[in-house]
Structure 1
Amino acid sequence: MRITGDHTALAIEGRLDVRTAADARVLLHQAVDGGLGDLVLDLARLEFWDATGLGVIMGTHRRAGRIGRRLVLRSVPAQLQRLLVATKLHRILAVDGGIAEAHVS
């Protein structure tokens, strides 16, 4: 897993899972704490996330909300969109461009 960017926009590459969650949490929380306005998280190169990784995203979402920021997911791969729909988290998380209707059933 690799995270690049700054306090306004980050990109995650690789896997966000139980092995990478702790490092990702630290980096994402630093980005939230160090900026203002929306924090855009580009997931175009994210290959996989498990429940732990999804928990990191939700924790970052909550942390951002507590300080008046918003976490915005961008370029969410189709497989991950399906997981957001299955868990109904697409109703809670801000997804740039929304979730493709084909994935909502």
Structure 2
Amino acid sequence: MHIRGDHAELAVGGRLDVRSAADARTVLHTALDDGHGDLVLDLTGLDSWDATGLGVIMGAHRRAGRSGRRLVLRGVPDRMQRLLVATRLHRILAIEGGLEAESLPRV
């Protein structure tokens, strides 16, 4: 996993899973604590995430809310969009362009 960017926009690539969760959490928390306004998380380069990785995203979402900020997901890959819809997290998370269950490709 690699994360590049600053306190306003971060690009995540590789795998966001149990092995990378601690590093990702640290980077996200630092970006949230050091900035203001929306923090855009570009997931275009993300290959996969597991439950731990999704937990990191949800934790960052909660932290952003507590500090008056908003975590915005951009470029969510299709298979991860399906997971967000299945878990109804697409209704909680800010997703650029939004997600609609009907528009997602079936597997």
Aligned to 1:26: 26
**Structure 2 runs not aligned, ≥5 long:** none
Cα deviation for residue 103 of structure 1 reads 2.2
- Does residue 36 of the first structure (1) align with residue 25 of the second (2)? no
Cα deviation for residue 99 of structure 1 reads 1.2
Q: Give me the whole-angstrom Cα distance separating, in 2, the residues matched to 1:96 and 1:89.
A: 14
Aligned to 2:103: 102
Q: Runs in 1 of length 4+ with deviation above 4 angstroms?
A: none
Q: Aligned partner of 1:102: which letter?
A: S
Aligned to 2:83: 83
Q: Aligned partner of 2:9: which letter?
A: A
Cα deviation for residue 104 of structure 1 reads 8.7
Give yes or no for contact 1:37–1:69 (8 Å, CA) kept in 2.
yes
Q: Give me the whole-angstrom Cα distance separating, in 2, the residues matched to 1:42 and 1:17.
A: 16
Q: Give me the whole-angstrom Cα distance separating, in 2, the residues matched to 1:60 and 1:26.
A: 10
Report matched runs for 1:55-74 at 5 Å.
55-74=55-74
Q: Give me the whole-angstrom Cα distance separating, in 2, the residues matched to 1:52 and 1:30.
A: 19
Partner-residue secondary structure (3-state), 1:44 = strand
Q: Deviations over 1:41-73 (max 9, x none)?
A: 000000000000000000000000000000000
Q: Aligned partner of 2:96: which letter?
A: D
Q: What is the TM-score when the length of structure 2 is the normalising length?
A: 0.94
How many residue pairs get aligned? The number is 105
Q: How large is the Cα RMSD of the aligned pairs?
A: 1.4
